[in-house]
Structure 1
Amino acid sequence: MRILFITPYPAGRAPSQRFRFEQYLPALTANGHKYQEEAFLSEETWAILYKPGHSLSKALGILGGMLRRTALLARVSAFDFVFVHREAAPVGPPVFEWLLAKVLRKKIIYDFDDAIWLPNTSENNKIAAGVKWHHKVASVCSWAYKNSCGNSYLAAYARQFNPNTVVNPTTIDTVHLHNQVRDQARPGRLVIGWTGTHSTLKYLEQIVPVLARLEAEGLDFEFRVISNQPPNCRCAH
Structure 2
Amino acid sequence: MVQNINNRSKRILFVCPYPPNIAAGQRLKFEPHFNVLKREGYDIKQSCFMNQRLWHIAYKPGHYTEKIIWTIKGFIERVILLLTLPKYDTVYIFMNVFPFGPAILERLFRKIARRIIYDIEDNIISKELNDERRVINLLKSQEKYKFLIKTADVVITSTPALSKRCNQISASDKSIFIPPTLDDKRFVPRASSTPKEKLTIGWTGTFSSKSYLDIVLPYLEALYKERNFKMKIIGNFEMDNPVLDLEVVQWNKDDEVQQLQDIDIGLYPLSQDDWVSGKSGLKAMQYMSIGIPAVCTAAGHVVNIIDDGVDGILVFEESKWTETLKDLIDNETKRKVVGENARKKFLSKYSIESISKYYLKALG
User: Which TM-score bucket, shorter chain as reference?
Assistant: 0.7 to 0.9
The residue type paired with residue 207 of structure 2 is H
The residue type paired with residue 34 of structure 1 is D
**Counterpart position of 1:178:** 187
**Counterpart position of 2:69:** 60
Matched-pair identity in %:
29
Specify whether residues 105 and 211 from structure 1 end up closer, same or farther in structure 2 by C-alpha distance, changes over 3 A only: same
| 1:160-199 CA-partner distances (Å, limit 9, x unpaired) | 1232011101121212x2216x238777676554322111
The residue type paired with residue 46 of structure 1 is W
Q: Tell me the distance in 2 between the aligned counterparts of 1:11 and 1:150.
A: 19
**SS, match of residue 110 in structure 1:** strand
| 1:182-223 CA-partner distances (Å, limit 9, x unpaired) | 23877767655432211111122233466578x49x887654
The residue type paired with residue 136 of structure 1 is K
Cα offset, 1:28, TM superposition = 1.3
The residue type paired with residue 15 of structure 1 is A
The residue type paired with residue 21 of structure 2 is G
Cα offset, 1:106, TM superposition = 2.7
1:80-159 matches, within 5 Å, as 80-101=89-110, 103-118=111-126, 119-122=129-132, 126=135, 128-159=136-167
Q: Is the 8 A contact 1:121 1:129 kept in 2?
A: no
* 1:167 correspondence with 2:177: yes
Q: Is the 8 A contact 2:103 2:143 kept in 1?
A: no
**Counterpart position of 1:10:** 19
Q: Which has the larger radius of gyration?
A: 2
Q: Tell me the distance in 1 between the aligned counterparts of 2:153 and 2:210.
A: 34
Cα offset, 1:9, TM superposition = 0.9
Q: Tell me the distance in 2 between the aligned counterparts of 1:160 and 1:184.
A: 49
Specify whether residues 142 and 222 from structure 1 end up closer, same or farther in structure 2 by C-alpha distance, changes over 3 A only: farther
Specify whether residues 212 and 92 from structure 1 end up closer, same or farther in structure 2 by C-alpha distance, changes over 3 A only: same
Cα offset, 1:7, TM superposition = 0.3
More divergent stretch after superposition (74-83 vs 153-162): 153-162
The residue type paired with residue 125 of structure 2 is W
**SS, match of residue 178 in structure 1:** coil
Between Structure 1 and Structure 2, the one with more helix by share is: 2
Aligned length: 231
Say what the alpha-carbon RMSD is for the aligned residues.
Answer: 2.9
Query: Tell me, which stretches of 5 or more residues in structure 2 are unaligned?
Result: 1-9, 247-364
Specify whether residues 235 and 109 from structure 1 end up closer, same or farther in structure 2 by C-alpha distance, changes over 3 A only: farther
The residue type paired with residue 86 of structure 2 is S
Q: Tell me the distance in 1 between the aligned counterparts of 2:152 and 2:98.
A: 16
Q: Is the 8 A contact 1:117 1:136 kept in 2?
A: no
**SS, match of residue 65 in structure 2:** helix
Q: Is the 8 A contact 1:145 1:164 kept in 2?
A: yes
Q: Tell me the distance in 1 between the aligned counterparts of 2:130 and 2:156.
A: 21
Q: Tell me the distance in 1 between the aligned counterparts of 2:217 and 2:163.
A: 28
More divergent stretch after superposition (76-85 vs 218-227): 218-227
Q: Is the 8 A contact 1:11 1:39 kept in 2?
A: yes
The residue type paired with residue 66 of structure 1 is F
More divergent stretch after superposition (155-164 vs 56-65): 155-164
The residue type paired with residue 40 of structure 1 is F
1:157-236 matches, within 5 Å, as 157-162=165-170, 163-175=173-185, 177-179=186-188, 182-183=190-191, 191-208=200-217, 215=223, 223-231=231-239
**Counterpart position of 2:79:** 70
